[in-house]
A and B are shown apart, each in its own frame.
Chain A
Amino acid sequence: MSTNFAEANSISRATIEIHEPRQKTIESKTGGGDAIEGKSIRANIPSGDLADKWQNFKDHAGLVSPANRKKLRVIVVGTGLAGASLAATLGEMGYQVLSFCFQDSPRRAHSVAAQGGVNACKNYKNDGDSIYRMFYDTIKGGDFRAREANVYRLAECSQLLIDQAVAQGVPFAREYSGYLNNRSFGGVQVSRTFYARGQTGQQLLLGAYQALMRQVNAGTVKLYAQHEMLDLVTIDGKAAGIIARNLLTGEIERHAAHVVVLATGGYGKIYYLSTLAMGCNASAIWRAHKKGAFMASTSWIQFHPTSLPQLGEHQSKLTLMSESLRNDGRIWVPKKQNDSRAPNDIPENERDYYLERRYPSFGNLAPRDISSRAAKERIDAGYGVGPQKNAVYLDFSHAIKAQGKKKIAEKYGNLFDMYRKITGIDAYEQPMMISPSAHFTMGGLWIDYDLMTTIPGLFAAGEANFADHGANRLGANSLLQACVDGYFIAPYTIANYLSNKIKTELPSTSHQAFVEAEANVKSQLDMFVKIRGDKTAEMFHKELGRLLYNYCGLSRNREGLKTAIKKIRDLKDEFYARLMIPEEATTLNVELEKAGRVADYFEIGELMCYDALTREESCGAHFREEYQTPEGEAMRNDDEFRFISVWEWNNGQAPILHKESLEFESVKLAERSYK
């Protein structure tokens, strides 16, 4: 076992190669970018043709025998699709698994809220779909800023996922004949999206949750619900465990493992108003970052084009309406600025179907970044609708006329019901009002091909990592990535990592590293409690969110980003002076939970601005106003920015930028056109 093939062929470890170790300050063109340039990073992609890489990896990866698996312990933080599927699968294989979630049940993780569907290139519709086509759509959808090998593997494993979910009892939509049904999503010209009404995420998550609970029952997985990870513990540079807080008692606990996996989701909630759940946070990945795991593409955040607009000042959430609605809904604004007529009073020839006008071949199914930006452009130009003039119309009257109300109700009934519950408006009678909202983080912890971060033994799965979506995620690819990471990729790559550690003892929780990490966590919590100021954590969160929406949201520019960095620092200083937490740290304390998350958001927000500032091009969701075509389309700069920005924590000083160059061997870089 000691000389496993994987190690001999060096496909088991991320390699950080220092080509030209520089410590030069990167300055933006007007000066003052202030990020420090570091090393060049390699992702450890297996050799061979694109189509063979994953099979090559699996054929040669190290294995752990069934008898040895029960000696090895894996911590999985998060029980969304990535975390639950991985914990269940590792449990089935016979590893000791500790599964953590902050929610009161693993079934409530935010994957549950995904609506529209999950992509897989089964080609059931006989419309020319294939692994390569799905790979190409995803690479192009991500504006050529993702790794070819990762994306190809995602498409390759998509077929297996549908088989797995059906076997678990996920009630996907069916034809009358009994065969599986599909629909279309943005950015593609085939039907490859599998769905369970508008609750695909819920049904997939329940499948993974049930598989997880089966392992809890079997004793292979130990579940820690209502626990929040507050630090990563490393010993000799390797992941050794976590410090977690029992949210019910306030008790701080130490947990050791051979491998730690973070499957903690995205950080879109940093904007406060977003489509995410109130508890979604980045603290696990951020604290791992501060322990040495690099972050990547931090500012690449997707704004979903079809969420409900903000109605009032106290709003806490922008509810998403599934992208699937764009299959039959047509998006428009009035041709006249500040038109205050009711939508049904505006005649056809006075409506501007701006997506159909600007992107005739994809029309209302243009990808999310493009649709969101086009909506913002119309709203900013004074054509917005609704009481706050911050929305556009999504109109079903044509579809209802063509297909009948019954057919539309069957496809989208629950979404129309949800819309009525929230707004009191019947969308069968008048158009919905929609608006872009912060939704998905393409950025996250940097990982190599094995999903391992720059800390050996620390893996990141699902939205918590950065890898597969480039600068823009295609609809219905996020459920896919989370599931594929958890069911089909990490179980192999973790086994490969563990294959030469079967004699390694479980780290001791009385090791000095655990003692210090626990002490640091406790002193931070005590510090928050002792401030006793006059503002809640949420008040700061809302202010930070507004700042980021304005300066590092749907569009960014150099001056704005520099302003934002300064304003975030000021706000952070104020936070540490004026925060108020009424109760002690040693009890159930919701305000304290929020404070820890907001404290991390300040630092991530700052890194987002550095990330956006140093990337002097527009690509996908990252739209720099200085870099656009005369028609307002994103202008990529492949010569200078064909790389992933990989960030190293620098103890609160300007972060250090490393680069992972993106090599395209199978696709030709092209202008990303949906016209």
Chain B
Amino acid sequence: MKLKLNIWRQESTTAKGAFKTYTLENLEKDMSFLEMLDVLNEQLVTKGERPVVFDHDCREGICGTCGVMINGRAHGPIGGITTCQLHLRSFNDGDEITVEPFRAKAFPVIKDLKIDRSAFDRIIASGGYISASTGSAPEANSILITHDVAESAFDSAACIGCGACVATCKNGSAALFTAAKISHLAKLPQGRAEARIRVVKMVEQMDKEGFGHCTNTEACQVECPMGVSVLNIAQMNWEYNKALLLGA
């Protein structure tokens, strides 16, 4: 098949970017979207031109590295997947596709489609953990957690930190990402002890990084490849208000 690609090219964080058009022929429908970019880059490099830089690593939807806007949608036209899991069979021969980086104030573009998401690491560092130093753990089965609670905590913990929620939010909010970690740990008995101080610190760091506020449009959960629910944001707000009322 044949595709026309409008790809965002930008030399550096401070440089001005622009779309550049490339036409690729003889593509196969079983190729992944990123393999199509591999083909493009092979053509560019063998001609001595600068390849398109894009984030990617595991190529199986779990590391959270990849992520671009494809025709205006985070991770492309199919729900519940990462960019690396998108295949060309989701497009038609002759389609024109626009490819842009995830854009948000807190995610500066580094080069082309590659962005800086280190703000997420700093949010986790501010309190996204249970302070259980190596050596201090009690026997695992001494902490009973019912099946449903464990499953629910897993649903929150499934976040891969790709940033699609931020990119798709009109406010550039990281509420879903931050809330997923707060909820994961708050749902578990071993995470309750630090729940109040955790939520206060993480929300503070999230604001400091320049992410916008959540206005409950729920667009984030539509694009989340792991299906993380906006109910996590409700739990974050609940935990936050509790902490404010009762003291962190």
Contact = CB atoms under 8 A, between A and B. Distances in A.
Interface in B59-90: 59-65, 78, 80-81, 85, 87, 89
Interface stretch (A64-72, A126-134, A147-155, A177-185): A177-185
B146 A421 contact: no
B89 A278 contact: no
A515 B62 CA distance: 40
Interface stretch (B26-34, B97-105, B216-224, B229-237): B26-34
A107 B41 CA distance: 27
Interface string A134-175: 000000000000000000000000001011111111011111
A439 to B, nearest CB: 13
A493 interface: no
A178 B120 contact: no
A35 to B, nearest CB: 35
B121 A112 contact: no
B63 A112 contact: yes
Contact of A166 (B32, B124, B143): B143
Contacts of A583: 50
A238 interface: no
Interface stretch (A309-317, A341-349, A545-553, A618-626): A309-317
Contact of A104 (B39, B48, B59, B65): B65
A319 B58 CA distance: 9
A196 B153 CA distance: 11
B171 interface: no
A278 B134 contact: no
Given A217-B126, A316-B35, A108 B51 contact: no
A454 interface: no
Looking at A203, A278, A581, the one whose CB has the most chain B CB atoms below 10 A away is A278
A113 B117 CA distance: 20
B138 A163 contact: yes
Interface in B84-128: 85, 87, 89, 110-111, 114, 116-118, 120-121, 124-126, 128
A248 B78 CA distance: 31
Contacts of B130: 167-169, 210
A312 B48 contact: no
Contacts of B145: 171, 174, 178
A580 B41 CA distance: 12
A248 B13 CA distance: 11
Given A163-B138, A169-B190, A580 B146 contact: no
Between B59, B61, B136, B140, the greatest number of chain A beta carbons within 10 A of the residue's beta carbon is seen for: B140
A539 interface: yes
A105 B153 contact: no
A508 B241 CA distance: 51
Contacts of B114: 588
Interface stretch (A256-264, A350-358, A529-537): A529-537
A590 B53 contact: yes
Contacts, number: 220
A418 B60 contact: yes
B14 interface: no
A95 B6 CA distance: 50
B243 interface: no
A112 B185 contact: no
B128 A312 contact: no
A396 interface: no
Contacts of B161: 105, 107-108
B186 to A, nearest CB: 10
Contact of B60 (A213, A319, A539): A319
B28 A277 contact: no
B18 interface: no
B153 to A, nearest CB: 4
Interface string A201-235: 01100100111011011000001010000000000
29 contacts: A103-B63, A103-B65, A105-B64, A105-B120, A107-B124, A113-B58, A160-B137, A174-B146, A176-B146, A176-B147, A210-B124, A211-B132, A213-B128, A213-B129, A217-B126, A277-B58, A277-B63, A314-B28, A314-B38, A315-B31, A316-B34, A418-B85, A421-B61, A421-B78, A422-B85, A534-B46, A538-B38, A582-B49, A591-B51
Interface of B: 28, 30-32, 34-35, 38-39, 41-42, 44-46, 48-51, 53, 55-65, 78, 80-81, 85, 87, 89, 110-111, 114, 116-118, 120-121, 124-126, 128-134, 136-141, 143-147, 149-151, 153-154, 157-158, 160-161, 184-185, 188, 190-191
Given A196-B157, A211-B133, 6 more contacts: A163-B137, A166-B140, A225-B121, A277-B63, A279-B57, A314-B39
Interface of A: 85, 88-89, 92, 103-108, 110, 112-113, 122, 124, 160, 162-169, 171-180, 196-197, 199, 202-203, 206, 209-211, 213-214, 216-217, 223, 225, 248, 277-279, 311-317, 319-320, 417-418, 421-422, 424, 487-488, 491, 532, 534-536, 538-539, 580-583, 588, 590-591
